[in-house]
Structure 1
Amino acid sequence: MEDFQKIRIDSVEYNIVDSIQDFRAEDSFIHRSNKLAQFNGNGESKKHVGTYVGTKGEAMSLFFEYFDWGNEHYDVAKKRKTFFSAQDSNAVVQDGTCFFSKSNLLKYLEDAKTEYFQQEQLYHNDISQFYNNRYQEVQELPNEYEFFSIYDASDNKSQSQNRGYIRSDDAIWRLWRELILPKISYLSILKLTPVESDIATNKPLFFFRVLLDYQYRSFVHPSTLGVLVNKIEEIIPETLKKAYRIGQERYRKDVIEYMPQCPFSKITDERLLTASHIKPYSVCIKENREDQALDYLNGLALSPTYDRLFDQGYITFTNDGELVCGTQLSAITWERLGINPNAKNKMRIFPEDRSEYLQYHRKHVFLDDLRDII
């Protein structure tokens, strides 16, 4: 990589100097109102972020710039020693430098709306009753970026697992615990420093983001797909099913004829190419746009790894066909994929007559907000 990947926050450009990606939200962390039926308990407000021993522990300490994990601290309020305490300055991991984004939380709720109401997972409660109030509470947050502090809530050093936890007493921490759904939600943290600063001396910021497992996002939700399959059975009489299958085969053939090479891997063997929909097939069917579902312009010929990157929203393209890389993957992952997200002359596709589909992908499938990508 020639330099750091960048992101724009409040009109300020930041380097992504490090990241922790895709920590699953355990049921034990989830607010009690969202817990799965198979589990009991109220949920704990501390979030697991790794182990604080060995090589992984060193990496976690360097990431948070905190090296006192698992030690006893003094709780001023309770006047006793404890293994975590927000009142002890030695237990503070980061003081006011962490933040959630309102737009990210709203996007998460939009992605999770179908699961809130269809409930593919089995919950203790009917979680649909909470959705509208939670969405409104996020909308009413006073700031686009809500800052908070975190402190060490780790297992003490006498315990063999040495699990590292963080916790916060700020209101935004409570709110995100109430929003997210267990097992299918993930946390990623970006460590940021301003581009126009000395990285070695400038105090970093930590951008906390939540996302939903791809299969549970509203437009590809399992329950939604089941409804769409039934819909296809209804709208296509038995006599036309063969013609429909022929249409799908024709779609793949036309996509690959129009785009005979994966722009990333340069593979031309059509046996190894996927005709990847730009606007998802399920959305086209749901909107009664079978014409779009079988339109070869609504497709890209990609080899499997890059098909997955595009299909699940890690990358997208501008209307001019320029590659846009999101910030959900680590620098080492981009390097192993053979993609430089910081390249001045990024790889392009030929986007003729695809702008409507590409616009949908950027708005609804791409995991990042395009306005923040530099």
Structure 2
Amino acid sequence: MSYLINGKRFEIIDTIEKIPSRDSFTDEENKIGKSTGAWEWHIGSKRDAAKYAFFGGLGFDALCFIKKDDLIWLMEELQPEYQDPSQNYRGKLDFLRVYKNRMDQINSLASFSFFHFREHDQRDSLDNRLYAKRPGSKADGDDIYSILRDVALPNLTFTSILKLQSSDGQIMYYFKVFPNFSSYDWGNNFSIAQESAILSSITISTTEKDQLIKARVGQGKFRMGISKECKICPITRVDDTRLLVASHIKPWSLSSNFERLDPKNGVLFTPTIDKLFDSGFISFTDHKELIVSPWISQNTTKKLNLLNGTRYTHFPIKGREKYIEYHRHNIFKS
């Protein structure tokens, strides 16, 4: 996968999958602890040679960017948290206003916003913790770096980074903040509310209610329908039904009642593959070819033996084209 940035094509050469959002780095209104908070960002250890080299090593000064669309998506995913905070944020009582202000700021951005990511050069030389510092001026992206502090919610978000390189050797870094959960996860509040609506409905029969609720966790009529034509996990080829998960292609929470029970909206996967698919880290083409998200590192995909473009002949694409297309465009993390 490549990216066109200011008319120049960049290819992915490395990935850092997950830097947790710490209370020390987030904006004042997001804090849940006693830390005063600084603009210093603790991103790892200098003993981690690979991570240090990722940014360029000693005294790194990396040119980076964030995308407006990514930030809008993130805030929409986090909207329930702003409406009903699960943590004791300092700005908790005014979080709806905070949400609106942040969305207004994000909507005013250009499609790509650039900033410098620099190693902190004023820390104790004996301190092996690796810190980045604020750019220092608006021209260097101080205002953009600030947005990363604004959207980072401790415990609930993390940042992943792609290292990109152009054909002429220019290096650039793509930062993206993710929630630790998905709005379509079967265990979230949105899905629970939908389940309650089904149970209280007077237009849905008791039998259908039972099947719809079972389908939410991949059981009942939904699983049996898939099992009639899908006997194995198409990637691992495991056929022990005790180890297979009936996974919705279009998430249960985003589906109509028909789609929730439609066996064509499901595939049997082993748990690890199910998690990758449900989280949008893998998807498939209509020709049964695997698509691997750039937001999962090459180290991880190598361990899992997942190769972009591999054709899995056992993937049951027939009749599932519209659901797979939905997954590619709406769930897959490109």
TM-score class normalised by the smaller sequence = 0.7 to 0.9
Q: Secondary structure at the match of 1:131?
A: helix
Aligned partner of residue 218 in structure 1, secondary structure: coil
In the TM superposition, residue 242 of structure 1 has moved relative to its aligned partner by 5.3
CA distance in structure 2 between the partners assigned to 1:321 and 1:129 by the alignment: 46
Once the 2 structures are TM-superposed, how far is the Cα of residue 166 of structure 1 from its aligned partner? 0.6
1:250 to 221, 235, 243: 221
Report if aligned partners of 1:115, 1:218 keep a CA contact under 8 Å in 2.
no
* Residues 34, 127 of structure 1: 8 Å contact kept: no
Distance 2:183 2:213 in 1: 26
Match of 2:20 in 1: 24
Gaps of 5+ in 2: 136-141
Aligned to 2:3: 8
Report the equivalent of 2:40: 46
Map of 2:139 onto structure 1: none
Paired AA for residue 65 in structure 1: G
Deviations 1:106-159 (A, max 9, x none): 2211221222223233322232222223222212113x2211112222641234
Aligned residue identity for 1:325: V
Task: Report whether the alignment pairs 1:182 with 2:150.
Answer: no
Aligned equivalent of 2:117: 150
Do 1:254 and 1:296's aligned partners in 2 also have CA atoms closer than 8 Å? yes
Q: 1:245 and 1:117 mapped to 2: Cα distance?
A: 26
Match for residue 320 of structure 2?
354
Which amino acid in structure 2 is aligned with residue 290 of structure 1? N
Q: State the SS of the aligned residue for 1:183.
A: coil
**Cα offsets for 1:265-288 (capped at 9, x unmatched):** 01122222111001111233xxxx
Following the alignment from structure 1 to structure 2, what is the Cα–Cα distance between the partners of residues 295 and 184?
33
Are the aligned partners of 2:61 and 2:119 in contact in 1 as well (CA < 8 Å)?
Answer: no
Aligned partners of 2:206 and 2:13: how far apart in 1?
A: 58
The letter for the 2-side match of 1:347 is Y
- In the alignment, which of 277, 296, 306 is matched to residue 329 of structure 1? 296
Aligned-residue offset at 1:304: 1.1
Work out the CA distance in 2 between the residues paired with 1:257 and 1:346.
22
Residue in 1 aligned with 2:138? none
Which amino acid in the other structure matches residue 95 of structure 2? I
Residues 91-170 of structure 1: matches in 2 within 5 Å? 93-94=60-61, 97-124=63-90, 125=92, 126-142=94-110, 144-153=111-120, 155-159=123-127, 162-169=128-135, 170=142
Question: Does structure 1 residue 219 correspond to structure 2 residue 184?
Answer: yes
Mapping 1:282-361, distance limit 5 Å: 282-284=253-255, 289-341=256-308, 343=309, 346-347=311-312, 349-361=315-327
| Shift in CA distance, 365/152, structure 1 to aligned 2, threshold 3 Å | same
Residue 9 of structure 1 deviates from its aligned partner by: 2.8
The alpha-carbon deviation at position 177 of structure 1 amounts to 1.1
1:67 matched to 2:38: no
How far has the Cα of 1:185 moved from its partner?
0.7
Which whole-Å CA distance do the structure 1 matches of 2:210 and 2:221 have between them? 12
Q: Aligned partners of 2:20, 2:34: CA distance in 1, in Å?
A: 19
Which residue in the other structure is 2:31 paired with?
35
Q: Secondary structure at the match of 2:73?
A: helix
Shift of 1:24: 0.5
Q: Secondary structure at the match of 2:303?
A: helix
| TM-score scaled by length of structure 2 | 0.86
CA pair 99-110 structure 1, distance change in 2 beyond 3 A: same
Contact 2:195–2:213 (Cα < 8 Å) also in 1:
no
Choose the corresponding residue for 1:281, options 252, 262, 266. 252
Deviation string 1:76-102 (CA, Å, 9 cap, x unpaired) is xxxxxxxxxxxxxxxxx215x211122
Q: Which residue does the alignment assign to 1:81?
A: none
C-alpha distance 367-332 of structure 1, shift in aligned 2 (>3 A): same
Alpha-carbon distance between aligned partners in 2 of 1:239 and 1:185, rounded to the nearest angstrom: 39
Equivalent position amino acid for 1:130 in 2: V
Identity %: 28
Name the aligned partner's letter for residue 8 of structure 1. Answer: Y
TM-score (norm 1): 0.77
